[in-house]
Copies of this chain bind each other. A is one copy, B any other.
């Protein structure tokens, strides 16, 4: 680790380092970050359509063409924001799960699940435009590059992880009265996905190598429900009925945990 600090390592090495060395490299890294942050600020104020390279440059006291030294196009800047947003909401979910797991009292998978739900909602309410950027209507003319896939998967994987760990600990109830059997096509899809997950090892190693299809499907359904509710809340569908949506959300999250089988 210490060798990464630069001074003690062989100066002849031309290998690129994690930390920038020259003043130029440091300035570049900083401005790259500052541009992204200013863009994020404008996104929060206006939404994705309102994000303009010229406005970002203006705010930073630069000329618009200067931004092209940092991001080759507007879409690349958008991609950076999208990846950041997915990572941030993924972080929030994973951290909530981790924190809940550490609490002796509330360490049960069900508590982890509920903590994740509320952390995600809190994140979304604090950054509605970033939420809309990743879970709202697709941006016309923009195609998400493959680099967004990994970050986008963190939230659903966190839920699958909780469900899987709940299962291992014996906390996942077996199919109850309200549980319908999966149609074969769905079993096939779920099994394929499950195999892919265990092959890449993204689901934590302390878990059965293959997540059973019905559990995976339940987690995915719960995931869609959760985001359906958050989207309705943020996008205004509850205006005049279930607003504020705190009680509805808390109840739905609890209901979901039961549906997934966490007790």
Interface size on A, residues (CB 8 A): 54
Q: In chain A between 217 and 235, which residues have their CB closer than 8 angstroms to a CB of chain B?
A: 217, 220-221, 224-229, 231-232, 235
Cβ of A189 and Cβ of B137 under 8 Å apart?
Answer: no
Q: Is the CB of A186 within 8 A of B248?
A: yes
Partner of A50, one of B140, B193, B232, B235: B140
- Are A229 and B235 touching (Cβ within 8 A)? no
- B137 to A137, Cβ gap below 8 A? yes
Kindly list chain B residues whose C-beta atoms are within 8 Å of the C-beta of A151. Answer: none
Known: A178-B178, A180-B254. A236 touches B144 (CB 8 A): yes
Cβ contacts A242-263/B at 8 Å (1 or 0 each)? 1000111011101100110000
Known: A149-B240, A224-B228, A225-B225. A47 touches B137 (CB 8 A): yes
Q: Does A9 contact B (CB under 8 A)?
A: no
A236 nearest in chain B by CB position: B138
Whether A248 contacts B217 by the Cβ 8 Å rule is yes
Which residues of the partner chain B approach A239 to less than 8 Å between Cβ atoms?
A: 149
Which residue of B220, B236, B258 is within 8 Å of A248 (Cβ)?
Answer: B220
A135 beta carbon closer than 8 Å to chain B: yes
Instruction: Say yes or no: is A237 at the interface (Cβ < 8 Å to chain B).
Output: yes
Inside 8 A of A205's CB, which chain B residues have their CB?
Answer: none
A137: min CB distance to chain B, Å: 3
How near does chain B come to A194, taking the closest CB pair, in angstroms? 10
CB neighbours of A132 from chain B (8 A): 137-138
A72 interfacial by beta-carbon distance below 8 Å: no
A217: chain B residues at CB < 8 Å are 248, 251
